[in-house]
Chain A
Amino acid sequence: MMDITSLPALVLGNMIKNREISVVEATKAQLDAIKQREPFYHSYITVMEEEALSQATKVQKRIDAGELRKSALAGVPMAVKDNICTKGVRTTCASKMLHNFEPSYDATVIERLKQAGVIILGKTNMDEFAMGSTTEKSAFGASKNPWNISHVPGGSSGGSASVVAGEEAFFALGTDTGGSIRQPAGYCGIIGLKPTYGTVSRYGLIAYASSLDQIGPMGRNVSDCTAVLEVIAGHDEKDSTSIHRKELDFRKALIDDVKGMRIGVPKGYLDGELDDEIKDRLYSAVKIFRQKGAIVEEFDLEMIDYAVPAYYVIACAEASSNLSRFDGVKYGYRTPNYENLQELYEKSRSEGFGSEVKRRIMMGTLVLSESYYDAYYRKALKVRSLIKQNFKKAFENVDLILGPISPRTAPELGEKTQGTLQSYRSDIYTVSVNLAGLPAISFPCGRDKKGLPIGLQLIGKEFGEKDLIRAAYSFEQAVGYERPTTLREGIDIVNSQETQMHPNNKSQD
């Protein structure tokens, strides 16, 4: 039988509908590929082999009974980032703290995907509690970039990006708090879509920073991501921050036409730390958009320099509160040695959390403390509302904003864990989007000298997903999709070393 794992999700969905392949066959093929590739990519924390196969049988029955005719993704196997709750399947947030945590309920997005007949293969690796941009902060060991396994896949949704690029799933869910969908998608050469805040329910997403978190699709093409978005988007009464949106028919925007679209490139994004190779690709993208009839112009977007500090103050503040519930009392990790309640708290949290998580909890605790609240947290909120206003002003003149995702391509494993400040600063192009609650899509645009993918992003106005989808889809028609070299040439077994998936295998720093 042919290797179906490289197919786009919608193509597989269609084959299943046309009885060219059964759901069980497709699921088995994908599980086989996982077994073969996982030793090299190390992108899953949990593979749900049995559950996936039993789901596959059930979904096939539903399809045979004539249900799911309207579901384009029925029977398609996918992966879920391990900070999204799955009933009865451990959900770890890549932390020792939750190494044994089995949620008693499904997140709303999981309910919706199951309803649509999607097969969940497993839970993907990530930076612990989504804090990081390399997936090296996972308590289960780092994941690898399918383009070059000595490089990171990015993060925090690095496992999801890696399984999609490495063809260990047809698509995946990621979460984006400060770029955690877009950056790994860019590093791995796939599409990542971060919806407008409030579009996708956060119920069941283990919160990092509640006012910034948003779940979104990661896929090998724009159409797949759009189809997934249609399944997961929509108001949820269990999430008070979810929005009643009309026009969730995103696939109507899959049009190869950008004539007259106004695209702005912020000048501030072009100087400073941006790698020349990425700048070149950005200009080539500008050229392609112009050739297709879009109007592309540079403009000034203010407050860029303040986005990263404001982001870290707000995200850490919320995280320090959100992660307080992991106290060793009810579930998750509890220290074996304690004399009293205080010690139970201190030791469980000191032993259960990794260093980056502890660093952010401490920063968040500081900025919320009575004596620093005004100086940091309140000020960050002001910056946030200014950033929002500036975007609003910008969108009076442009339909979309085009820019890089990160100053450079995927770093080597182990490289980035030193010098935290620099790694925080590399979030410069992504975090303002979360602060403003805007939608953005990242897409591949060629590769650098090392052969690593270069990703770019388009930022839309609030609820502007259709513009994003249309522009990214048009661009994709011009440049196509590239499979990772490791898949094309066969995984180089000699040069890779296996990593044990174990919670005690902590990240380097």
Chain B
Amino acid sequence: MKRYEVVIGLEVHVELSTKTKMFCFCSTEFGGEPNTQCCPVCTGMPGSLPVINKQAVEYAIAAGLALNCDITQQCRFDRKNYFYPDLPKAYQISQLYQPIGRNGGITIDTELGKKTIGIHEIHMEEDAGKLTHIEDGNYTLVDYNRCGIPLIEIVSEPDMHSAKEAIAYLEKLKQILKYLGVSDCKMQEGSLRADINLSVREVGAKELGTRTEMKNMNSFKAIARAIEGEKKRQIALLEKGEPVIRETRRWDDERNASFAMRSKEDARDYRYFPEPDLPPLIISDEWIDDIRNRQPELGDEKMLRFEKEFGIPAYDAKIITSDKYLAQFFEETVAICGRPKEVSNWLMVEVMRLLKEEDIEAEEISFTPVQLAKLIEMIEAGKINRTVAKEVFEHVFKENVDPDEYVIEHGLSMVSDDGVLQSIIEKVIAENRQSVEDYRNGKTKAFGYLVGQTMKETKGKADPKMVNQMIKKILDQ
């Protein structure tokens, strides 16, 4: 078999998190009753006219700067014409000729080191409505709430060569956009959607192969599967001596396969032309400078600062700064209780585990840095041991309890009263003569057993160090 190389470019649609829509004043809130967040403008009623949302432009510029793009200062909107019931004007206001950003790129980490993925362009556009096909009734319902929500489309260069690279690029993109606060990037709510342009060619070939465009992936995992699936499908075709057809395909994650939607032959002619209802958008140097000066510290910078300022390992810094909210949580917690490494451990281990378990994003965490700081201080002060602390933290995370109160209410304070502990240990020793015998005969394992039994008797509340010392003292008498 020949050796093949896969070439991937991504088109990522990101909903901007403005409060109002791209060209009117309707709310962009997710999940409203159908058709309650619309007006004559976003439903394309005759006579209505668009007015550019300045905040959306500002977000697009901020994204452009963070993705190292040149900002087009003579920016313009164009109409993309096509008929579909989710598009009430029968054209989408988009950008073809003068997109807001061009010639950018971001750096990702790969197994072979750092790599730059080029960004061809960023353009602004408006989202379409949502269609719900009612199979039984043989009709379709239209919800225009999403219609007119501002989007940016980030078009990469075909610089990626594996699913891993594509996912690394997407993770990085998501991280940057979230740091900027321009989008919440929630794939499940459709605020981040990616289309895959993929082709394969023999290793060493200069020409690109025929590419397909794949749509309808709703998670990064699905994207990785779609890339693998499409790569295999195209290679199989070439191996059989059949051509790859240039077409748009729909990924079906459940069936783990893609299906042709439309080929290039019946590709639409969108009849793009400059939107006459909107004058050119002039972006001044001052405006760009102002936005640049207000850019927040992004992940990469923050990672280096965390290493330096808090003395935590590079690995910790990378993980904690991978998410804006996690990084913020870290800084705020350290500001209260100090002990950066300890805070970092809690975030990297327990918090990350519970986020995954609960399937939520860091910004959805309900408890505050004050609660985590209290917990850490309680451990340091010897009020609870680590095992108890983990148990308490789970309740802090899930039920937003106050750790102090929880420990008191559930009697979880460490048993550090010598007298109480002494009598428990004596009881354990009396009940486990055999283990004592074994220990004295050189079986050190028996010692651990006795400690464990003692911890069990105290319901885990004893200070393990103290228990160790006390048992040793009794046995060595």
Whether B40 and A240, one on each chain, are in contact in the complex, defined by CB atoms closer than 8 angstroms, is no
A104 & B40 in contact (Cβ 8 Å cutoff)? yes
Binds A, one of B229-237, B272-280, B424-432, B451-459: B272-280
Which of B43, B52, B273 has a CB less than 8 Å from the CB of A240? B52
* Chain A hits for B279, CB < 8 A: 240-241
Number of A residues, CB within 8 Å of B: 43
On whether the beta carbons of B273 and A377 are closer than 8 Å, the reply is yes
Complex contact A317–B273 (CB within 8 A):
yes
Considering only CB atoms and an 8 Å cut-off, how many residues of chain B contact the other chain?
28
Q: Which residues of A contact B79 (CB under 8 A)?
A: 321
Q: Could you say which residues of chain A place their CB within 8 Å of the CB of B46?
A: 85, 91, 93, 98, 101, 103, 206-207, 325-326
Binary CB contact string for chain A from 385 to 413 against chain B (1 if under 8 A, 0 otherwise): 00000000000000000000000000000
A368, B51: Cβ atoms under 8 Å?
Answer: no
Cβ-based interface call for A318 (8 A)? yes
A494 within 8 A of B: no
Is there a chain B Cβ closer than 8 Å to A211's Cβ?
yes
* B269–A103 CB distance below 8 A: no
**1/0 contact string of B246-275 vs chain A (CB within 8 Å):** 000000000000000000000001011100
B48 at interface, CB cutoff 8 A: yes
Distance A365 CA – B270 CA, assembled complex (angstroms)? 10
Consensus secondary structure, chain B interface: loop
A residues near B276, Cβ cutoff 8 Å: 209-211, 241, 318
From 188 to 244 in chain A, residues with beta carbon under 8 angstroms from any chain B beta carbon are: 202-207, 209-211, 237-241
Q: Given contacts A211-B276, A240-B51, A368-B271, is CB(A324)–CB(B45) below 8 Å?
A: no
Question: Does B44 lie at the interface of the complex (its beta carbon under 8 Å from any beta carbon of A)?
Answer: yes
| Most A C-beta atoms less than 10 A away, residue of B81, B91, B271 | B271
Q: Chain B contacts of A209 at CB under 8 A?
A: 276
| Minimal Cβ-Cβ distance residue in B for A341 | B85
Closest B residue to A85 using CB positions: B47
Q: Are A325 and B49 in contact (CB under 8 A)?
A: no
- Chain A residues, Cβ within 8 Å of B43: 330
Within 8 A of A (CB), among B23-52: 40, 43-52
Is B50 in contact with A240, judged by CB distance below 8 angstroms? yes
CA distance A55 to B292 in the complex (A): 54
Spell out A's residues near B (CB within 8 Å). Answer: 84-85, 91, 93, 98, 101, 103-105, 107, 202-207, 209-211, 237-241, 317-318, 320-321, 324-327, 329-331, 341, 345, 365, 368-370, 373, 377
Interface contacts beyond A330-B88, A368-B272: sample of 17 additional A-B pairs, CB < 8 Å, sorted by A: A85-B47, A91-B46, A91-B47, A105-B40, A205-B47, A207-B46, A207-B47, A237-B51, A241-B278, A321-B91, A325-B89, A327-B90, A329-B88, A341-B85, A345-B83, A365-B271, A377-B273
5 residue pairs, one from A and one from B, having the closest CB atoms = A324-B90, A368-B271, A210-B276, A211-B276, A204-B47
Which residues on B are within 8 Å of A, measured CB to CB? 40, 43-52, 79, 81, 83, 85, 88-91, 142, 269, 271-273, 276-279
Q: Could you give 14 example pairs across A and B, Cβ below 8 Å?
A: A85-B47, A103-B47, A105-B40, A203-B48, A205-B47, A207-B277, A240-B49, A241-B276, A318-B273, A318-B276, A324-B83, A327-B90, A330-B88, A341-B85
